């Protein structure tokens, strides 16, 4: 009898890992199965801050801030919006980068935003927040691509570093239209890979998607002590842009 009760306890406990979704949506289960392929996850709004506007009145530029530094030795971070036609925003390998990002995104409608952070035991922690918006941001053509100086400015980037205690904050921005390809007559054209280095040491490989707003601005953090950082941006047209930050 004790064995039966113990088995039931294990089943209930394992089910609870996947229960208590703080913001339900019809697409969450399909997306989570696609991005982490059935690996274990828990909802963890205690250790992950997901900061979004109270109301996103500009759906093509929605600022999001995610801080999961409470999860020590994090290995990977994925951010997605449940109800966007292009749900995944970034997929970051945290080689020597902390689980933190700030960036502006596009939203098609009101949607839950998820931050998934994988700990050193392979378990995914999920933070959630709801973005309220009238939407439409994913089906609007980029303004920058209609600029007559588009070719002149494409790939122009700038950055700064800020040090606070043992943490270095890296800010970077780049001129790029980040076209989704969802507007009739416009092809998808966006930055799809970012690599970050401290001198010759790689800090992160990031797969990025067109749900990021045009002319993106990023914030990252690391405990690496370097004075020189380099960011390489790659886009879907095989362009490569490099940014040195000192």
| Domain housing 110 | 2-245
Q: Which pLDDT belongs to residue 9?
A: 41
User: In the predicted model, what is the mean pLDDT of residues 212-232?
Assistant: 96
CATH code of residue 114: 2.60.40.10
pLDDT in tens, 113-122: 999 999 999 9
Which pLDDT band holds residue 3 (cuts at 50, 70, 90)?
Answer: low
DSSP annotation string for 111-140: EEEEEEEE-TTSPEEEEEEEE-----GGGS
- pLDDT at site 8: 43
Give the number of domains in the chain: 1
Residue 122, exposed/middle/buried by CB under 10 A (0-12, 13-18, 19+)? exposed
The whole-angstrom separation of Cα 137 and Cα 109 is 8
Please state the pTM of the whole predicted model.
Answer: 0.90
């Amino acid at each position: 009898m004790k064995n039966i009760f113990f088995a039931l306890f294990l089943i209930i406990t394992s089910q609870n890992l996947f229960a208590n979704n703080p913001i339900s949506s019809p697409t969450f289960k399909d997306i989570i199965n696609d991005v982490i392929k059935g690996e274990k996850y828990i909802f963890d709004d205690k250790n992950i801050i997901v900061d979004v506007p109270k109301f996103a009145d500009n759906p093509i530029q929605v600022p999001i801030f995610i801080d999961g530094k409470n999860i020590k030795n994090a290995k990977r971070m994925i951010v997605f919006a449940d109800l966007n036609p292009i749900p995944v925003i970034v997929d970051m390998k945290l080689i020597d980068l902390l689980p933190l990002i700030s960036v502006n995104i596009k939203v098609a409608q009101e949607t839950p935003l998820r931050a998934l952070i994988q700990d050193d035991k392979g378990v995914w922690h999920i933070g959630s927040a709801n973005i309220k918006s009238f939407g439409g941001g994913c089906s609007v053509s980029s303004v920058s691509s209609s600029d007559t100086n588009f070719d002149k400015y494409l790939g122009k980037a700038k950055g700064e570093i800020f040090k606070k205690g043992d943490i270095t904050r890296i800010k970077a921005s780049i001129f790029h239209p980040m076209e989704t390809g969802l507007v009739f007559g416009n092809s998808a054209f966006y930055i799809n890979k970012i690599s970050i280095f401290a001198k010759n040491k790689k800090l992160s490989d990031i797969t990025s998607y067109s749900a990021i707003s045009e002319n993106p601005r990023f914030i990252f953090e690391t405990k690496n002590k370097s004075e020189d950082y380099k960011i390489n941006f790659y886009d879907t047209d095989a362009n490569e842009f490099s940014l040195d930050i000192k």
